[in-house]
Amino acid sequence: MSRAYYYQECPTCGRNLKVRVEYLGKSVCCQHCHAKFEACDPESAAYPPSSSGLALLRRADELLDSVGAPQEVPG
Ligand SMILES: [Zn+2]
């Protein structure tokens, strides 16, 4: 836990921004285009799944795992 900053891409102008970790989950302002967006660490599990197809796939896998093998109907 030594880093006080992380890098996040601005969803509006696409530039890499240095974001203080203390702003995680809060609204921040892009220094370049002044767009407001929510700071979220891409490495963290809290990353919104709506913006990542991979996360959705992983969730689908988990659902499949929880269902398990299809049960055979006797008879
Ligand atoms: Zn920007």
Please check the confidence at residue 2 and state whether its pLDDT lies above 60. Answer: no
Instruction: Say if residues 23 and 40 touch (Cβ distance below 8 Å).
Output: no
For the entire predicted model, the pTM comes to 0.51
Q: What is the pLDDT of residue 36?
A: 95
> Residue 56: helix, strand or coil by DSSP?
helix
Residues facing 18 on adjacent strands: 7
Q: From the CA of 49, how far away is ligand 1's center (Å)?
A: 21
Q: From the CA of 50, how far away is ligand 1's center (Å)?
A: 20
Please check the confidence at residue 65 and state whether its pLDDT lies above 70. Answer: yes
Q: Is 14 left (phi over 0), alpha (psi -120 to 50) or beta?
A: left
Q: Which residue segments constitute the domains of the chain, with CATH numbers given?
A: 5-67 (2.20.28)
Query: Using 50, 70 and 90 to split pLDDT, how confident is the model at 66?
Result: confident
pLDDT digit string (tens) for 17-61?
Answer: 999 989 989 999 999 999 999 998 766 555 554 555 677 677 777
Q: From the CA of 36, how far away is ligand 1's center (Å)?
A: 8
pLDDT digit string (tens) for 9-19?
Answer: 999 999 999 99
Question: Of 23, 54, 52, whose CA–CA distance to 38 is shortest?
Answer: 23
